[in-house]
Structure 1
């Protein structure tokens, strides 16, 4: 029986006991799929990362599991693992300002991550391996409202309507008119699964609720993510959903060419406030690149016997 060290980081926050907790199992070589899934179930967090090489290299293969299944990509595991590995001395190079560049090899492909040390702590930024594209899922305004326990008039704002996007993981993005509607949202998992369904090998996407009204004055959007059918009733911070939202932002808001910065607040209804930075590079009216960023702090460490 092996003793494998693990770390727990709170991600997309600069303080402990906020944001989205992430378990990181170090040196997971030798664990098969079944063992990884069992360990993820044991932690019972929204995601657990398995590092498939000893910490310290410039390129590090990882795998990401929810309590129910494996993901090809996820945002808070990417940001949290990048900061954890930088804390352990991993890097491809170190800049004069102490910034650390490293590459995480995920199922979606290699993801370049930059970790910097700022006044509020360690901050990780990574570029999307895949730009958001419209996903083949459809749900009406009335259907989304029914599944979320809302009135149809609660769904939609300005020219934003329900749409589905994926930057590696699909989401149905549901715009709601204000914070009150967002706070009242409660997903009926059975009804949602029946209405949205599956397409090919793709599982039923999660519901990502967002609005323009925010609680924090520096935020651009307020968001909630529901995925009870995937083992996560509600997620306090979802980088892959923010990546998907980038598609909706460019489609509906049509930002001017150049770089647009958005801050997305999430997790406030759960008592786990989180902040995700989304940067969009737009050229000729189309998205050419996007980056996700956020802070993370270590809150626990130990060993797991496996």
Structure 2
């Protein structure tokens, strides 16, 4: 390709461009090689940039994701941003993305009275949950300056997957949640050692639901969390809004019996980096987790 591709930028999981997670989007990356896509992602300097590299025989769009330093298997916020960019040009509807982790189905919709207000909901691949090896957990807590006693005993630490593997820790006290910190270089080295390609997910419960969480159960269950997702790539040290992690958290809550599906959990994120956003996570009884939100162009 001789012409430079158009690089769009969207803020995902936010109502305005000052919030949420910025993502690069290249709608026509056909003919771009790996080196060029990596260079574009590095220059864009967002957490991830999504590239549509072509169409599969069955009509799915082939999508790849690059952070400023490497290709990543999946990016939820870049998926939402890409789906909204397509919906703005083609109208809302169902999209299918062929990604390195499998097919992702995205539903884009417009508000009935505000047709320009678009929302996207992606369904993750089948989630999985595994224990964190004890020595890894100890190292992770030391890295973050957290004590085991500061973890919420209702939510045991786990590795959770819904496209990427994320260690999930839940901190009980807001003071400890707000106060922990870590050296970005040390975090990057630790994550590389564990082959964690996405984020370290730290949650704080903001309160239980009204008893059903969308499920009709009489048992109170968590309905809202605040999240911090450590992601040391380029200038970024903490991700403002992480769709893949929200999906992994939904799988985590279901696998550990901490919600009664179908359930809805809202995750607030980005306050600590000045880009607040909100991710809605719908947890069905079986199958992939549905994560939804808006995305708006960054001009």
Q: Which TM bucket (shorter chain)?
A: 0.7 to 0.9
Secondary structure (helix, strand or coil) at the match of 1:247 reads: helix
* Aligned match of 2:212: none
Shift of 1:82: 0.6
* Aligned match of 2:226: 222
Q: State how far apart, in whole Å, the 2-side matches of 1:205 and 1:163 are.
A: 15
* Aligned match of 1:245: 249
Q: 1:254 aligns with which of 246, 258, 269?
A: 258
8 Å CA contact retained: 2:177, 2:204: yes
Shift of 1:15: 1.3
* Aligned match of 2:123: 127
Aligned residues: 280
Greater Cα offset, 129-138 or 270-279: 129-138
CA gap of 1:232–1:134, structure 2 versus 1, over 3 A, is: farther
Q: 2:105 aligns with which of 107, 112, 121?
A: 112
Gaps of 5+ in 2: 208-221
Q: State how far apart, in whole Å, the 2-side matches of 1:138 and 1:193 are.
A: 20
Secondary structure (helix, strand or coil) at the match of 2:90 reads: coil
Q: State how far apart, in whole Å, the 2-side matches of 1:169 and 1:224 are.
A: 16
Greater Cα offset, 1-10 or 226-235: 226-235
Deviations 1:200-249 (A, max 9, x none): xx3466311101027xxx96000000122687411000011111112321
Superposition map of 1:187-202 within 5 A: 187-189=182-184, 191-192=186-187, 198=193, 202=195
Secondary structure (helix, strand or coil) at the match of 1:244 reads: helix
Gaps of 5+ in 1: 91-98, 301-306
8 Å CA contact retained: 1:179, 1:213: no
* Aligned match of 2:178: 183
Deviations 1:155-207 (A, max 9, x none): x11321221111221111111112221211212345556666645xx346631
CA gap of 1:21–1:138, structure 2 versus 1, over 3 A, is: farther
Shift of 1:10: 0.5
Shift of 1:115: 0.5
Q: 2:271 aligns with which of 257, 268, 289?
A: 268
Secondary structure (helix, strand or coil) at the match of 1:234 reads: strand
Secondary structure (helix, strand or coil) at the match of 2:202 reads: strand
